[in-house]
Structure 1
Amino acid sequence: MELETIIDQAAVFIGYDSTNQWLYVDWKGEHTQESSQATCMLMLDSLRARPCAKILNDNSSITRTTVELSLWGAWWLEEMRSAGLQYIAWVYPRNFDARKATEAVVQRIERPVVATFDDVASAYIWLQQQAHS
């Protein structure tokens, strides 16, 4: 995966994959609700700067998180959808206590389509199979 760097910070790397025409977001380290919301806003800014229909959202490098999906998250997903996002492949952190609650929320989201994965390879394959609409 060859990436054009959009943002490269200690907490996140965001790049554009021109081969697959999607954003790749690599979250790193510890994340709180506040840092997660700030990173999500960077994702929104990146999507607006490099419009595309898909995001590979890789959380596998997160070492600790206290994040839960909230009303803010629903607002953010709607903003992402409005910016053109149709599909997001979300790779879970290795140690994620809120998985069951998150799955319940994700199942209710219609647009963009959100699919969750335990590894980047599976997320990558799924995202490649999704057609632009």
Structure 2
Amino acid sequence: MRFLVDTPGLVISHDAANDWLYCDWRGQHDQESSQAACLLMLEALRGQPCRKILNDNSGVTRQTMQLTLWGAWWLEEMTAAGLQYLAWVFPRDFMMRQHTEQALQHMQRPVVVAFDDVASAYVWLQQRP
């Protein structure tokens, strides 16, 4: 794995064996820090084009963010940068889980699927073309 971004709240690396980005979120995040981290993901994807991302939020200790119009814009930008599949591992105590899962069901591009653990997300992502 080659590190692309290393901040206290987010570490992004390129997994060359699988040719995807691994985004490891850590600590506490609110709407502002989540958006800043998402912009780092977009920058990393533009710098290291990949079709897949393993978005691991299992290390998030507290998250108070919501999917908003900004989030829809961000996903459009990620798609334009080449993203096709995003495996999203939710934090353990994600209060907006049900709302987020319902919103994800209506998305067509990129394909975003939520998981409870990294292992399941990893397997699913490996099975994508």
TM-score (normalizing by structure 1): 0.96
Match of 1:90 in 2: 88
User: Equivalences for 1:3-18 in 2 at 5 Å?
Assistant: 3-18=1-16
2:86 partner amino acid:
I
Deviation at 1:7, TM superposition (A): 0.6
2-side partners of 1:74 and 1:10: how far apart?
A: 25
Structure 2 stretches lacking a partner, 5+ long? none
Structure 1 stretches lacking a partner, 5+ long? none
2-side partners of 1:42 and 1:125: how far apart?
A: 25
1:88 partner amino acid:
L
2-side partners of 1:38 and 1:66: how far apart?
A: 14
Identity of aligned residues (%): 60
Moved over 2 A (4+): none
Deviation at 1:58, TM superposition (A): 0.1
2-side partners of 1:7 and 1:72: how far apart?
A: 22
The alignment covers a number of residue pairs equal to: 129
2-side partners of 1:97 and 1:10: how far apart?
A: 23
Deviation at 1:109, TM superposition (A): 0.6
CA RMSD of aligned residues (A): 0.3
TM-score (normalizing by structure 2): 0.99
2-side partners of 1:64 and 1:95: how far apart?
A: 8
